[in-house]
Homo-oligomer: A and B are copies of this chain.
Amino acid sequence: MVDHMNARILLNPNEVPKEWVNILPDLPSPMTPLINPMDGKPAPFEMACAIFPKELVLQEVSQEPTITIPNELREIYARTYRPSPLHRALGLEKAIGIEGEDIKIFYKNESLSPTGSHKPNTALAQAYYAKKEGIEELVTETGAGQWGSGLAYGCSLFDINCIVYMVRASFLQKPGRKILMRAYDAEVHASPSKLTEAGKQFYDKNPDHPGSLGIAISEAVEHSLRNDKARYSLGSVVNFVLLHQTIEGQEAKIQLKKAGIEKPDIIIGCMGGGSNFGGLAIPFARDLLQGISTDIEIIGVEPRACPSVCKGEYRWDFGDTAKKAPIVKMHTLGHTFIPSPIHAGGLRYHGIAPIISILANNNIITPVMHHQTEVIESGLKFANAEGILPAPECAHAIKEVIDQALIAKENNEKKIILFNFSGHGFFDLLAYKEFMTGNLVDYELPTSEIQKALDSPEMPNIDESQF
């Protein structure tokens, strides 16, 4: 018999994990370095510290299996929104006809943070270290605005200046998140802007240029390098961001144990840069790599319009359009690739976290992809059944969850499915409106497009034997 009174598993604020899980020492193949785009050599420590706060640069390459979460930061997590709840999705189970005890769906609810997504997990950490190092300003880019509002929130709590370059198409179409960022006292600029060299190249030719994440990154990096009290801040992709997000998976482990579950059989998350997915999956992936667990299938879901891991190539590529940010080795669709305008703005990035790439190369995780109409349809089903409207990004995970649950049912298998509910959809209602009125369209990425974007990188010679 299902126990409804214990279907939502809470932890006390003082159960916020005391450390982050660093997967680097356990990776089946070694982590590749960040490369200086000027000379093709690993970025020296001092160079990296001109871009990011020093403590984050150290975390980026740390080989310690865990990294202590500073007490002051733990206190802030605890008094604001962490640990997040783990829900048994009883409503969804009923709605898709798998009621019972054989197949159970759980979700980690990251939508209850002040900005409505998992992004503050790393934003608070980055703002904390910046403040501690005397940095007065953090500069970043944002697409739909989930990351920008997360960082603006973090900076506001630590009284740090926050500058956000927001892709112009979103700046114009999604005024909500822009106002939210300004409410946190952030300065928000439409990108491409005329404030940077990287932006001006595009702005001068077309002041209405819709922009891209790649251009906005270039602008943010350039802006941050101008002021020695400023640093650049990134909301996904790099190792330290995924590190901070592992707070999710660690909490989920404790919560599943409280529900009497030793381990999930399937873990699912959506993948853009890879941070919400990695945050939930990494603590479990490490158990697999260390032989502590077996038989956990970890599935990352990409949009068919931007399937970096499913269809991209694993290679060195620039992180941004103007080639100002470090070069990384990752699955990529090419740094000049401009994805189709799907609603899941957070999944429209040409690359992915190198950690995720290495895990995919070693079959620890499996990438899949879905179209946005089936995704948004699944999101609506979830909203009706569970009451919470998912962000379009998160609805990608839900589509796969439903598929996996129905496969298990058909095969008469017992399965525990865990997924990351990375954020709510209150700022993304247009996607649902378009679906409900029959106006939502799908975008498939033709292989020829991928090849074209990959063919144009002007990449410096990178000699891996020298690392």
Contacts and interface: CB of A to CB of B under 8 A. Distances in A.
B183 A383 contact: yes
Contacts of A426: 116, 176, 180, 426-427
B157 A387 contact: yes
Given A91-B157, A112-B112, A157-B91, A4 B79 contact: yes
Interface of A is mostly: helix
A238 to B, nearest CB: 24
Nearest to A91: B157
Contacts of A14: 5-6
Number of copies of this kind of chain in the complex: 2
Interface in A146-178: 153, 156-157, 175-176
A389 B180 contact: yes
Contacts of A323: none
Interface in A9-44: 10, 12-14
Contacts of A156: 383-384, 387
Interface residues of A, number: 48
A8 B91 contact: no
A254 interface: no
30 contacts: A4-B75, A4-B78, A5-B14, A5-B74, A5-B75, A5-B78, A5-B79, A7-B13, A7-B79, A8-B78, A8-B79, A10-B10, A10-B13, A79-B87, A80-B387, A91-B157, A112-B112, A115-B387, A156-B383, A176-B426, A179-B429, A179-B430, A179-B432, A180-B389, A180-B426, A182-B432, A183-B380, A183-B384, A183-B389, A184-B384
Contacts of A78: 4-5, 7-8
A182 B436 contact: yes
Contact of A388 (B87, B114, B388): B114
